[in-house]
Amino acid sequence: MAGPVERFVAELPKVELHLHLVGAAAPASVAALAARRPDVGVPADIASVKALFEFRDFAHFIAVYLQVSDLLRDGADLVELADGVVATLAAQRVRYAEITVTPYTHVAAGIAWPDVRDALGEARRRAARAGVEVAWCLDVSGDDGAEAAEQTARWAVEDPPDGLVSFGLGGREAGVDRAAFAPAFAVARAAGLRSVPHAGEADGATSIWKAVRDLGADRIGHGVRCLEDPDLVAHLVNEQIPLEVCPSSNVCTAVVAALGEHPLPRLVDAGLVVTLNSDDPTMFGTSISDEYRRVADTFGYGVDELAHFARSAVDAAFFPWARRRALHDEIDAALAASREADRDAAGH
């Protein structure tokens, strides 16, 4: 019989803020695409795809991620991929997800921007019918450079997909100057998009300072190395800049050696706004529900702590206050039902 935490996680309405479309692709989907595009060099059987996702380090992960991205050659591929991701989210009671797409990579692989835009709009409409509200983040890989970021910003501002809410920076952190991307972020922010750069994952606290000062970060993708600088922690707390923490991802890319060594409890104790996310769930063998379960098992969190993480994600999401209030009510109802089930179990 499932325990209280397991039952609560299954019933908990969730928001996910750090989720990459390509990284959420099911192995079966990747294998099917690979069979149609053998020139990319991705294996075409599920077992080999799963083996491909056994990452040695962060650089290896980025290389595999880009290789899988190269399998996507038209808008229909993007819609198909998104349908599978949404089905997984719906099964976990995810009510809202901000999903990151890297259009420069897809355009380089041969998909015209209008086709990418239309595919994202169609995928969002299909997601709504499945009960999941999807919003989009357009990001650029740091390795693609400032010119790619400026092109992505033009797409985002001049011809955006339906549901676009934010602009991001991903890929390799070490050796990539965040300040070089400031002009693109300025364009996006002036148009009302929110800033969500990755920082403080493979690189240290300085990268987070740059994300805040140069890119105007509204949230930090990962940010777990902020603890290296107490002044930075104080700034993030004072400004209430949320962290999109992805515990299993940090283990898989060797940012931390094991989940038990993850700084999550110290981030929480420091008063930081912490949200839980799955990042690239298929590639990292996880899901948003798994992240809640794993941190509960590893750090002894109960349903109250898990509800707090869920509420933090709701508060950090880029949607209207009315939507936020409704989701808080759903979380409160799930928590009340969990407590009532515990009382009934104790009574018997």
Cβ atoms within 10 Å, residue 89: 28
Mean pLDDT, residues 282-298: 95
- In sequence order, what are the beta bridge partners of 181? none
Please tell me what DSSP assigns to residue 161.
P
d(CA 278, CA 24): 9
CA distances, 186 to each of 78, 138, 210, 232 (Å)? 28, 14, 14, 22
217: helix, strand or coil: coil
- In sequence order, what are the beta bridge partners of 96? 15, 133
Pick the CATH number of 4-342 from 3.40.30.10, 3.40.1180.10, 3.50.50.60, 3.20.20.140: 3.20.20.140
Residue pair 73/108 in contact by the 8 Å Cβ criterion: no
Mean pLDDT, residues 319-347: 89
Rounded to 5 degrees, what angle do the CA atoms 304, 8, 298 make? 65
Mean pLDDT, residues 158-170: 98
d(CA 324, CA 51): 40
CA distances, 21 to each of 53, 65, 116, 293 (Å)? 15, 11, 13, 22
Q: Which of 14-28, 288-302, 333-347 has the highest mean pLDDT?
A: 288-302
Q: Tell me which of 201, 261, 305, 330 is the catalytic residue.
A: 201
The model's pLDDT over 63-98, given as tens digits with 9 standing for 90+, comes to: 887 888 888 989 999 998 999 899 999 999 999 999
Confidence of residue 263 (pLDDT cuts 50, 70, 90): very high
Largest CA distance in the chain: 65
Count of helix runs (H) and strand runs (E) in the chain: 16, 9
d(CA 100, CA 164): 10
Active site residue 158: no
Strand spans (E) along 250-346: 274-276
| Among 234, 249, 253, residue whose Cα is nearest residue 295 | 249
Q: What is the pTM of this model?
A: 0.94
